[in-house]
């Protein structure tokens, strides 16, 4: 069974540009989460999808971040326009209903804004 | 607001030793606790998940315990190997209805051959 995949693995953009990160969850997982880790800090929650609906977006830092999950499969996280403080590693995770709600993480996308 | 602390931030031990990593959390109203491993430049690998009603979980040389009332969990690694070198993270999930994990900053473990 394929795990959570993320694309790209690395992205380097200039301040003011737009970047879109993609996450493909484990097949059949209705729950999808985005987290990020900025330099020297702990991993922090951004938002949670249940299928295509946003269940909790309390961790989204501001309106420059837009997450979508059309069709309830893969998800995208767009940052527009990017700022220096957006640099970090963005992780995606997924989980299935009805079990332990164990979250399985992808390898992350390292975003560098210069 | 839940806060998760992992001490020490870094630990080096000789190969073959048993070791304990610590995780503490401020709010005992948790649904479960997960221990993860992160290798440099890689994603998070889930090691063990303990439900709030459980006291411990074991997988191979790993044993995780949970004392919810005191807000503590430990990860015990037996007979450490160089391949165990990684950053170990714990994360707690609050009670049912809120699924976001709160992470500690991790313990960077180095096993010296």
Quick check: A29 and A49 in contact, CB under 8 A? no
Using CB atoms, pick whichever of A42, A55, A108 lies closest to residue B104. Answer: A42
Summarised one tens digit per residue, pLDDT across range A67-82 is: 999 888 999 999 999 9
Quick check: B76 and B18 in contact, CB under 8 A? yes
Tell me if chain A has a CB within 8 Å of the CB of B42.
Answer: yes
Summarised one tens digit per residue, pLDDT across range A8-39 is: 999 999 999 999 999 999 999 999 999 999 98
d(CA B46, CA B58): 13
Tell me if chain A has a CB within 8 Å of the CB of B71.
Answer: no
What is the gyration radius of the CA atoms in chain B, in angstroms?
14
3-state secondary structure of B97: coil
d(CA A30, CA A50): 6
- The full DSSP string for B21-43 is EEEEES---EEEEEEEEE-TTS-
Contacts of B27 (CB under 8 A, 6+ apart): B1, B2, B71, B94
Residues of B in contact with A45 (CB under 8 A): 100-102
Distance of residue B38 Cα from the nearest chain A Cα, in angstroms: 9
pLDDT of residue A99: 60
Tell me if chain A has a CB within 8 Å of the CB of B88.
Answer: no
Contacts of B53 (CB under 8 A, 6+ apart): none
Using CB atoms, pick whichever of A4, A103, A108 lies closest to residue B101. Answer: A103
Residues of A in contact with B98 (CB under 8 A): 56
Residues of B in contact with A107 (CB under 8 A): 42-43
pLDDT of residue A87: 97
Report the candidate in A86, A64, A79, A68 with the shortest Cα–Cα distance to residue A23: A68
Where would I find the H helices in A1-114? none
Quick check: A79 and A14 in contact, CB under 8 A? no
Residues in chain A: 114
Higher pLDDT, A110 or B97: A110
DSSP secondary structure letter of residue B92: E
Distance of residue A66 Cα from the nearest chain B Cα, in angstroms: 18
pLDDT of residue A40: 81
Residues of B in contact with A58 (CB under 8 A): 100
């Amino acid at each position: 069974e394929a795990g959570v995949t993320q694309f790209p693995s690395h992205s380097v953009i200039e301040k003011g540009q737009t970047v879109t990160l993609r996450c493909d969850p484990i097949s059949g997982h209705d729950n999808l989460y985005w987290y990020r880790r900025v330099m020297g800090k702990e991993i922090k929650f951004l938002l949670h999808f249940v299928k295509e609906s946003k269940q909790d977006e309390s961790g989204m830092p501001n309106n420059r971040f837009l997450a979508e999950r059309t069709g309830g499969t893969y998800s995208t996280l767009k940052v527009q326009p990017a700022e220096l403080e957006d640099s970090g590693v963005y992780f995606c995770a997924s989980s299935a209903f009805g079990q332990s709600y164990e979250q399985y993480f992808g390898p992350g996308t390292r975003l560098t804004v210069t | 607001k839940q806060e998760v602390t992992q001490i020490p931030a870094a630990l080096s031990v000789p190969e073959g030793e048993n070791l304990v990593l610590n995780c503490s959390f401020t709010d005992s109203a948790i649904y479960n606790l997960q221990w993860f491993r992160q290798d440099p430049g890689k994603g998070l690998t889930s090691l063990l998940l303990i439900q709030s009603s459980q006291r411990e979980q074991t997988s191979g040389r790993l044993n995780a315990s949970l004392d919810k009332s005191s807000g503590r969990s430990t990860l015990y690694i037996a007979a450490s190997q160089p391949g165990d070198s990684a950053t170990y993270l714990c994360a707690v999930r609050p009670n049912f209805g809120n699924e976001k994990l709160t992470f500690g900053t991790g313990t960077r473990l180095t096993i010296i051959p």
